């Protein structure tokens, strides 16, 4: 009986030591992390290229999505995993330049058009942190919210026509990611999954 008892004591000590180590990890209850990053590729921009493919001299470009997220630790389980919650803010702009034919005139004529699509995203986010050390934080997250979409059009003719639908008004995200900290407060992060029409995002992480 001594051998099993000794093994049990050793196992309990190892589990206790592991738990103590988890208590000093980079994310736990009360931790606040702000991340700022860029997502890519933007599949909404890809859909714009498809929608405008019948136009000549097509040029599609843009910025973003720029993604800012807050993650606050609200709970830590006995086994060391943590739950966080916070906000998501995003911005993306896409510009489409193209040639089109104005058929409303007596003599149809080509004109140069420019459509600018913008999206502001606001949402809530929950995270489950399943592995953390003193400098690494791995997690999965979900997000829900809404998009505020606008489009502006200019052309060398008074003739304007909408060519592509706006983004969906609803925002949803499902990602898995990791953060690595160079110091106690500064690090980098990367996430993979669907978020603001992109599959990959990454940037800076600040911990408070």
The predicted structure's pLDDT at residue 180 = 98
For residue 86, give Cα distances in angstroms to 116, 137, 170, 181.
Answer: 30, 16, 18, 20
3-class SS of residue 21: helix
More reliable by pLDDT, 2 or 127? 127
H-helix or E-strand spanning residue 17: helix 2-23
Question: What letter does residue 10 receive in the DSSP assignment?
Answer: H
Residues sharing a CB contact under 8 Å with residue 174, sequence separation 6 or more, in sequence order? 141, 142, 143, 193, 194, 195
Q: Does residue 11 register a pLDDT over 50? A: no
Mean pLDDT rounded to a whole number for the chain: 85
Structure tokens at 176: 């898995």
Query: Could you tell me which residues are beta bridge partners of residue 205?
Result: 35, 187
- The residue-averaged pLDDT of 8-31 equals 60
H-helix or E-strand spanning residue 157: none
More reliable by pLDDT, 184 or 155? 184
Q: What is the pLDDT of residues 105-124, one digit of tens each?
A: 555 567 788 899 999 999 99
Q: Does residue 158 register a pLDDT over 70? A: no
Q: What is the pLDDT of residues 48-61, one digit of tens each?
A: 999 988 888 899 99
Nearest to 207 by CA among 178, 184, 189, 177: 184
Cα–Cα distance between 169 and 199 in angstroms, integer?
19
């Amino acid at each position: 009986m001594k051998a099993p008892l000794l093994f049990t004591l050793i196992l309990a000590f190892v589990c206790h030591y592991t738990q103590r180590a988890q208590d000093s990890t980079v994310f736990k209850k009360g931790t606040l992390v702000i991340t700022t990053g860029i997502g890519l590729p933007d599949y909404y921009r890809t859909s714009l290229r498809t929608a405008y493919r019948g136009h000549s001299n097509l040029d599609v470009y843009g910025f973003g999505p720029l993604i800012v997220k807050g993650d606050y630790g609200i709970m830590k389980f006995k086994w060391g995993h943590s739950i966080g919650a916070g906000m998501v803010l995003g911005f993306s702009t896409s510009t489409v330049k193209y040639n089109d034919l104005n058929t409303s005139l007596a003599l149809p004529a080509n004109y140069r058009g420019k459509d600018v699509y913008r999206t502001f995203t606001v949402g809530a986010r929950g995270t489950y942190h399943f592995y953390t050390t003193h400098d690494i934080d791995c997690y999965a997250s979900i997000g829900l919210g809404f998009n505020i979409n606008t489009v502006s059009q200019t052309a060398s003719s008074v003739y304007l026509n909408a060519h592509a639908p706006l983004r969906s008004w609803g925002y949803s995200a499902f990602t898995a990611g990791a953060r690595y900290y160079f110091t106690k407060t500064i690090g980098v992060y990367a996430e993979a999954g669907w978020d603001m029409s992109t599959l990959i995002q990454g940037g800076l992480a600040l911990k408070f």
